[in-house]
Chains A and B, each alone.
Chain A
């Protein structure tokens, strides 16, 4: 319960349009995903397969990384290794400078957000053009993504219309969604063609071909990676799959879980730079492989999380995310997957509220396409938080008292006998509107008056009566 988190939650809950914006997108996503899953009889078997593919790679990471590097080099790509976010950003900025780039286009990548690439490019004085429509909206607004699939989910279309009207050079009529998309297209099209460097992420790194795979619904990744002279890929090392066939198995899970569609509009495998007889393509193709805490997750009981496909299903189904949205989480990744990943990236003291602000209802694990036991991993962070003494003093004191009493039945019974009449004093016609030390409950709910006598005491009396 840090002040920063409380303030962000409060801002989210009092935002007059946020809830509408969240529910429009996530409600639609939930309904479409449910329909897609219902129409796929072997979905459960596919989830098991997806889990097994990712686990196999995680357990043989060194082997597949070496294979990927070998095959990517053979295709003419250049490979760079980054241990940390800063190293990754330094490599990208250096490559941009070497290319003499003044402007770069970027296709949406959560890894890019994770390593702080937008900020690093800005600091280096390199103009950055976000080409994903939602990222374009986020960039225009000077904002941060609030969802890993729909970065501008927190904006209503009414808000976007207003912003396009002010900030686009030729907004034209913006009376329909189509007209708004056309306005963004006019704004972005020339920038695509003028960029010196295109930067993308990768949904998969295919070990046996050295290719990287991107999936989008707008085609912006293709326009980001093809016209510029240089294509730079930043990808987390957990994106590895053994072969294209494995990528296809995971792709079926990823797309249905994210949007409910069977396939994204654009699914592209990029393999090496432009060859002599290719019509187009970048002259240089760089792949930056980023660790940034991932190998540490292997040794800290978080290896299951390395299966994550970044589909966003756990966000869409999370009751907490649905109320507070993505910004309140404070990190790159929100929702249940963010509650597991953000403590890795930002440290548990900073992110301590995220694993705690979860009802452990288990729906996230139920919808996860690769069966990540998210509630178990979240509880793992709570255990660590307790051991590190990060839990609020009032909570640890209350639980220690509770344990002391609950392991001493006579004391526990005496406590119940004393507490019940006191609690009843606060109730009027069955309900208490306020209770000492319980404002968290009674702030917005009434508390039912307890029984005159506890169940166990009543049972004891009955036994006496019978005897």
Chain B
């Protein structure tokens, strides 16, 4: 894999359907960070969804249809970068499982999986990018989203990168690695259980006294921020990439533009 001194890799930014529709600031942050890290970034204009809702609901045919589409769309790039652990995990860990080993799609899915990365770990581990001249006087706490943490090993990378922002202090919450209760379609299929889970999470967040809640997955962040707002807890939520791209002074999730 390339280092900052080797020729610029041509990477595809796969924004994810949530970032595309709900919070473009994360997409722009990812774009800027990848360019700072020496990548030639393309944003394939016909990208849609990774297929995770179908995959997790038992619709294997639907998931495979989207997987074939994304494999064809993205396999020509040096790397595919996704600002979400669960969507990156879908391409990396689950696309190959959708096709029998004898299918040519299986090999193509495996080769795509090998060059698909979650944004923050790609910046830190592969591009060795570090924040320069960033300052934000604030306290924050970090939620480890489950798929990024357990499927992709995203844990120390966002913390190491955030430590490079002058004035930003991190207070770990109890049970930072415990699921927030989002679970994709789980939160609307079983809202009562999901609410009970997220309410424990927001209590842990509030107990830190932090100004900001950070994470690497918009779905989880919306779940926690939406519950915090309903409870009237004034913690502001951002994707970590937004702070790393210098957007920490702008509106947080749910704040008017």
Binding site for B on A (CB under 8 A): 1, 9-10, 13, 319-320, 323-324, 356-363, 365-366, 379, 382-387, 391-392, 395-396, 399-400, 402-403, 405-407, 409, 412, 416, 419-420, 429-431, 433, 438-441, 443-456, 458-460
Contact = CB atoms under 8 A, between A and B. Distances in A.
B193 A356 contact: no
19 contacts: A319-B178, A319-B197, A320-B197, A359-B183, A360-B146, A362-B146, A383-B60, A403-B66, A406-B51, A412-B48, A443-B191, A443-B195, A444-B227, A446-B226, A447-B222, A448-B23, A448-B222, A451-B22, A454-B24
B75 interface: no
Given A452-B257, A455-B27, A456-B47, A386 B58 contact: yes
A403 B254 contact: no
B220 to A, nearest CB: 10
B254 A366 contact: no
Contacts of A399: 53-54, 57, 59, 62
A444 B230 contact: yes
Interface of B: 15, 17, 19-24, 27-28, 43, 45-49, 51, 53-60, 62, 65-66, 69, 146-147, 150-151, 177-179, 181-198, 222-223, 225-227, 229-230, 251, 253-257
Contacts of A384: 58
Please name the 10 residue pairs, one residue from A and one from B, whose CB atoms are nearest each other, closest first: A359-B183, A386-B58, A440-B188, A382-B58, A445-B226, A455-B24, A361-B179, A361-B146, A409-B46, A448-B254
Nearest to A320: B193
Given A386-B58, A444-B195, A456 B43 contact: yes
Contacts of B146: 359-363
Contacts of B62: 399-400, 402-403
B192 A9 contact: yes
A356 B189 contact: yes
Contacts of A324: 193, 196
Contact of B181 (A359, A439, A452): A359
A455 B179 contact: no
Contacts of B60: 383, 386
B85 to A, nearest CB: 11
Give chain A's interface secondary structure class.
Answer: helix
Contacts of B193: 9, 13, 320, 323-324, 357
A420 B21 contact: yes
B127 to A, nearest CB: 21
A358 B256 CA distance: 33
Nearest to B256: A430
Contacts of A363: 146, 150, 177-179
Contacts of A386: 57-60
Nearest to B221: A448
Nearest to B151: A362
Contacts of B21: 416, 419-420, 450-451, 454-455
B254 A13 contact: no
Contact of B59 (A403, A446, A454): A403
Given A13-B196, A441-B188, A456 B58 contact: no
Given A320-B197, A451-B22, A454-B21, A438 B188 contact: yes
B197 to A, nearest CB: 5
A450 B226 CA distance: 13
Contacts of A441: 187-188, 191, 226
B186 to A, nearest CB: 5
A417 B147 CA distance: 30
A403 B185 CA distance: 15
Contacts of B225: 448
Given A399-B59, A445-B226, A456-B15, A362 B66 contact: no
